[in-house]
Chains A and B, each alone.
Chain A
Amino acid sequence: MRKPAKGGAVSSLRLSRRGRKDLLLAFLLLLPTIYILLKTFVSPIIESLVWSFYKYNLMDGSDVIWVGFRNYKQIFGLNEFWVSMENTAYFTVFTVGAELVFGFFSALLLNQMFGGRLFFRGIIIIPWAMLTLVNGLMWNWIYQPGYGGLTVILHKLGMLSANSNPIWLTNSFKIMTFASIADIWKMTPYMTLLLLAGLQSLPSSLYEAAVMDGAGFWKKIWHITLPQLKPAIIVAVVLRIIGAFRVYDILTVFSGDPTTSVSFLTYNYAFRYFYLGKASAMAWISTLFILALILVYIRMLKRNSELE
């Protein structure tokens, strides 16, 4: 930017001569990616929108007929759909909230200077790197009644009397809660690393003035850390909501009940009953919600880059 004007003039002259060639080159370089994404992304997502207005039942071989908004109307009248929405909302709010709180304090710890910091920063990546399905399997084992880790430890600590042996995953609320705990364990490190990156970009002299004022821990956090970290927090939270709302994999380990999440219900409509029209409509409801979040995210990114 601050280079002498001469260099800039030469390069802009060069560019204008090369302008047309450049445009062609850009097109050629982008062509394979554009082709693949048109074929496997853009066209399916449009097809799915179109199918959501049709009765398209793959199993009984009936005709594909235009039904307008009937699929959507039926879905909104469906009790299962609202139950699945509620469960998804509970899972999303609970996991993202807890991950934010734990992730924030972990990031504060790991941002301090101390010996062996790299070791502690390294181990938190282990839960994040584990397979989602293995994480589900592992927590399912922990929650086993009788001899699973949770029951055994509660017995040993005396928090559970020796003759009581609860079954943890009895109703859908408990299933959602325990599945959320599994997800919180796995995804808190992700939040930690995102917030840690945010903290590292703040100046190290941040708290010095506040110390002079005699501000304590909570005051410093409330008046200095949180406001400074706000852009990073919003970005991390939006990304996590996008990730949590689509939850499917971990729930299949804990429960065969498709109403535990919208994705699960959509999957079941598509691949168990093969009601492709209805499944497409349901998928589009999720798509619209996530698209709205993506717009928020892009707006945040633009604003953050303008600040820099």
Chain B
Amino acid sequence: MANHLGTNAAAPVIGTRRNSTIRSRLFKTASNELISPFYLWIGLILLTLFTLAPFVYLLLTSISPSIELLDGRLIPKSPTLDNYVRLFTGPTAASYISAIKNSVSVALWTTLLTIVLGVFAAYALAKIKFPFRTTALFAILAMQLLPSISIIVPMYIMMRNGIPVGIPFTGIVFFHTPPLLDTVAGLVVAYTTFSLPFAVWLMAGYFQTISKELEEAAYVDGNGRLGTMFRVVIPLAMPGIAATAIFTMLSAWDEFLFASAFTQTEAAKTLPVAIREFIGRHNLDWGLMTAGGFIASLPPVIISLFLYRYIVGGLSAGGVKE
């Protein structure tokens, strides 16, 4: 392409009239850009409209009185918080509140377990050379990309019977967990199955970006492997670990397949399951349903907006499927 340089270079035409300057400024594309300002802003307006309209509509519906909704009003004439009051005090409040509690504890426990275990595995895979290391990394990536449906049937039986914890292939069992169906602990186990390989893959990627020189310096200072890991690698990789924690939390908050298969009562039902049940239960009460949906979406939306930088960094590191 460089050999064409200068052959066709046309000098920019400078308009004499003011009108044409504005026009040329609007429609002229800068040399290192693709889109002229005019089309850029048309595109941005359309993008904003399509992105925000459904979400704003959800919010507006949730603050509309039912009577206006059935009239087909888009923007409420007399906005009210009645739907939210009914959500938290009405006859179904108890089940919604317990769903929030279950979702919070499932998300937090899954994240804690995943990060604490995953950090060690990711460090080993990123920083210590051993045979089949790359194979192990790709195996972990593959696990995380497989659908939950691949393992849900045996996992259901495992949850129903409880999980024996012991040394494999020897018959030695230290203890046997009680049946985990319809418990928060069961969901934490199920979610960790997928979030652990995901977290290990993502964190190993972050750890690999930390320079060897810094580690060498820590060795020279007399730190061992573990000392280097805790004093140098983990602190430096904190943004990556934070991103991983956010993704783990968001996906646990969103998960539906395991939750709908493994939970039956308020003891363990999470928000997505509660939202699914809304549709049968609150027939036509769209104000209440959208209020419930809005509250459930608020934490992930706020977290993503505030921690935008981490989310984008994590997404482009690859392997996030949803």
Contact = CB atoms under 8 A, between A and B. Distances in A.
Interface of A: 3, 7, 11, 14-15, 18, 21-23, 25-27, 29-30, 32-41, 43-45, 47-48, 51, 105-106, 108-109, 112-114, 120-134, 137-142, 144, 146-147, 149, 151-153, 155, 185, 187, 189-190, 193-194, 197-198, 204-214, 217, 220-221, 225, 235, 239, 242-243, 245-246, 248-249, 252-253, 263, 266-267, 270-271, 276, 279-280, 283-284, 286-287, 290-291, 293-294, 297-298, 301
Contacts of A109: 35, 40, 43-44, 47
A35 B117 CA distance: 11
Nearest to A282: B149
21 contacts: A22-B130, A32-B117, A33-B120, A36-B117, A44-B155, A105-B43, A120-B47, A129-B304, A131-B253, A131-B275, A133-B275, A137-B279, A141-B290, A147-B70, A198-B316, A207-B33, A246-B149, A263-B147, A270-B153, A290-B147, A291-B146
Contact of A126 (B143, B146, B301): B301
Contacts of A15: 129
A308 B302 CA distance: 35
Interface string B1-43: 1101111111000000000000000000101111101001001
Contacts of B257: 248-249, 263, 267
A5 to B, nearest CB: 14
Contacts of B9: 212
User: Which label, helix, strand, loop or mixed, suits the secondary structure of the A interface?
Assistant: helix
Interface of B: 1-2, 4-10, 29, 31-35, 37, 40, 43-44, 47-48, 50-52, 54-55, 57-58, 61, 69-72, 74, 117-118, 120-121, 123-125, 128-130, 138, 140-143, 145-158, 163, 165, 168, 189-190, 192-193, 196-197, 200, 212-213, 216, 219, 225-226, 250, 253-254, 256-257, 260-261, 271-272, 275-276, 278-279, 286, 289-290, 293-294, 296-297, 300-301, 303-305, 308, 311-312, 315-316, 318-322
A138 B153 contact: no
B220 to A, nearest CB: 9
Contacts of A301: 318
Contact of B51 (A48, A146, A189, A246): A189
Given A112-B33, A126-B304, A213-B4, 16 more contacts: A26-B124, A30-B124, A34-B121, A37-B143, A37-B197, A38-B168, A41-B143, A41-B193, A108-B34, A114-B37, A208-B32, A212-B9, A246-B147, A267-B257, A271-B156, A283-B149
A214 B11 CA distance: 11
A304 B172 CA distance: 45
